[in-house]
């Protein structure tokens, strides 16, 4: 099985690569359209800022490559946000796989710190990504922006308001939390993705 990680100017590639290696998979890190399109599975991780990430994707033609992928794709953190249609972060149009806009958390009181950082419970779990994962399992989040709950939501989390912890449309899967930093839950999700 050929597994690729999309190389672009958003960090966190190394930790995803290490998580895959722990599962016995040696991924290729690439920004080559040919490599990505010929892979069996593609991961789209990231830590960064939406408008600068989109600028890089567009300058390197990766925006067109990503939306044309037909194999299973797993986007993580900012990867999820870039698969939506618009982000308030930098007021930028994004890739549009999910017809929903990414918004900034607006805290209701001083107890609600932004970014949302740390472990939080996953609820309303649906679909193959969450096979074998109990309702209420914890995952690790670091983010200031979120995708609202929508028809694409396959997991939810509650911080300030309920939001999408994971999305799915066709071959595109996405988690707002960091699967590679979410312990046994995250590793099971990666295993589930690799078996799609």
Catalytic machinery residues:
77, 178, 180
Residues facing 104 on adjacent strands: 145
Question: Residue 184: how many CA atoms within 13 Å on its side-chain side?
Answer: 4
Distance CA 124, CA 22 (A): 28
Q: How far is CA 166 from CA 24, 61, 151, 158, in A?
A: 25, 26, 11, 12
**Pick from 136, 131, 194: nearest CA to 165:** 136
Contact 151, 85 (CB under 8 A): no
Q: Could you tell me the end-to-end alpha-carbon distance of the chain, in angstroms, rounded to an integer?
A: 12
Distance CA 36, CA 130 (A): 25
């Amino acid at each position: 099985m050929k597994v690729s990680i999309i190389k672009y100017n958003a960090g966190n590639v190394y930790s995803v690569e290490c998580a895959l290696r722990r599962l016995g998979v040696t991924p290729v890190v690439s920004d080559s359209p040919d490599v990505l399109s010929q892979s069996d599975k593609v991961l789209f991780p990231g830590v960064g800022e939406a408008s600068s990430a989109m600028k890089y994707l567009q300058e390197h033609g990766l925006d067109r490559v990503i939306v044309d992928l037909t194999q299973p794709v797993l986007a993580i953190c900012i990867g999820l946000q870039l698969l939506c249609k618009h982000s308030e972060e930098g007021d930028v149009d994004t890739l549009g796989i999910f017809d929903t806009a990414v918004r900034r958390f607006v805290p209701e009181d001083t107890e609600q710190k932004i970014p949302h950082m740390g472990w939080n419970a996953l609820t309303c779990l649906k679909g193959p990504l969450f096979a074998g994962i109990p309702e209420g399992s914890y995952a690790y989040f670091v983010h200031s922006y979120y995708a609202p709950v929508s028809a694409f939501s396959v997991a939810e989390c509650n911080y300030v308001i309920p939001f999408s912890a994971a999305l799915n449309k066709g071959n595109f899967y996405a988690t707002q939390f960091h699967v590679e930093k979410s312990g046994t839950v995250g590793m099971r999700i990666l295993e589930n993705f690799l078996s799609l």
